[in-house]
């Protein structure tokens, strides 16, 4: 039988590169919901330990209390009791988060999700593309390119690690525009993967 869909539920996605103001925008929306006396819960994955364990903290040092979660099931548990559910750094959660967010929206919740749309290689970063397809509202935030000052859509890794997830701030990443962004060389990763053999 089809699950009953309650009125008023929506998915809002805020996405863009690092330093583009995703966390600031999430904090702004959450604060307004609190002023409107709605029940709000803000969640962030354990992996993102930037600055403070029990708050969202933006690169501009804005803060909002948050609860850390390990899995998408935790998001469902904690989100059930709120009117508004904020989730930061959604790209660090498991793929089950897409169904969980759909379920919460179907329960009538306003779900506000922030996350990276691309990884450091410039590839779409799941589950954000899945969420963009399902969202009612989409905001793409841009940073300022540190090289030329134009709007920046890419996160440039300035260290040589090859893994997809390396948590860091300006010590590891820079905001760059399309023209100034340089894709990392495949050989950095394939050197490791192939035991030192060079690949084109």
Given the complex with Zn ion, which of 76 and 175 has the nearer CB atom?
175
173 is in an annotated binding site: yes
Residue from 47, 146, 180, 189 in contact with ligand ADP (CB under 6 A) = 146
β partners of residue 140: 15
Given the complex with ligand ADP, which of 138 and 189 has the nearer CB atom?
138
Question: Is 3 a known active-site residue?
Answer: no
186 is in an annotated binding site: no
Using CB under 6 A, which residues numbered 147 to 176 contact ligand ADP? 175
Distance of closest approach, residue 180 Cβ to Zn ion, in angstroms: 3
CB 92 within 8 A of CB 45: yes
Helix (H, G, I), strand (E, B) or coil at 184: coil
Given the complex with ligand ADP, which of 64 and 143 has the nearer CB atom?
143
Query: In terms of DSSP bridges, do strands 67-69 and 40-45 run parallel, antiparallel, or are they unpaired?
Result: parallel
**Cα–Cα distance between 20 and 168 in angstroms, integer?**
15
Distance of closest approach, residue 43 Cβ to ligand ADP, in angstroms: 15
153 is in an annotated binding site: no
Contact call for residue 143 and ligand ADP (CB under 6 A): yes
CA distances from 106 to 10, 101, 112, 191 (A): 8, 8, 14, 46
**Cα–Cα distance between 106 and 101 in angstroms, integer?**
8
CB 30 within 8 A of CB 84: yes
185 C-beta neighbours (distance < 10 Å), count: 11
120 is in an annotated binding site: no
Contact call for residue 24 and ligand ADP (CB under 6 A): yes
**Cα–Cα distance between 161 and 111 in angstroms, integer?**
33
| Residues near ligand ADP, by CB under 6 A | 16, 18-24, 58-60, 143-144, 146, 175
Binding site, annotated residues: 16-23, 88-91, 145, 148, 165-168, 173, 177, 180
Catalytic residues: 89
């Amino acid at each position: 039988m089809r699950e009953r869909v309650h009125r008023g539920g929506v998915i809002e996605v805020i996405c863009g590169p690092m330093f583009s103001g995703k966390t600031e925008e999430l904090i702004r929306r959450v604060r307004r919901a609190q002023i409107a006396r709605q029940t709000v819960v803000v969640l962030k994955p354990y992996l993102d330990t930037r600055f403070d364990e029990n708050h969202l903290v933006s690169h501009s040092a804005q803060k909002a209390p948050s609860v850390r979660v390990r899995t998408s099931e935790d998001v469902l548990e904690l989100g059930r009791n709120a009117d508004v559910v904020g989730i930061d750094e959604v790209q660090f959660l498991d793929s089950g988060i897409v169904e969980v967010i759909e379920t919460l929206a179907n329960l009538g919740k306003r779900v506000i999700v922030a996350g990276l749309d691309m990884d450091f290689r410039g590839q779409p970063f799941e589950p954000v593309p899945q969420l963009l397809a399902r969202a009612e509202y989409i905001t793409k935030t841009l940073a300022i390119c540190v090289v030329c000052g134009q709007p920046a859509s890419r996160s440039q890794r300035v260290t040589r690690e090859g893994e997809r997830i390396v948590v860091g701030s300006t010590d590891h990443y820079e905001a760059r525009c399309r023209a100034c962004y340089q894709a990392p060389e495949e050989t950095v990763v394939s050197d490791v993967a192939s035991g030192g053999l060079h690949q084109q």
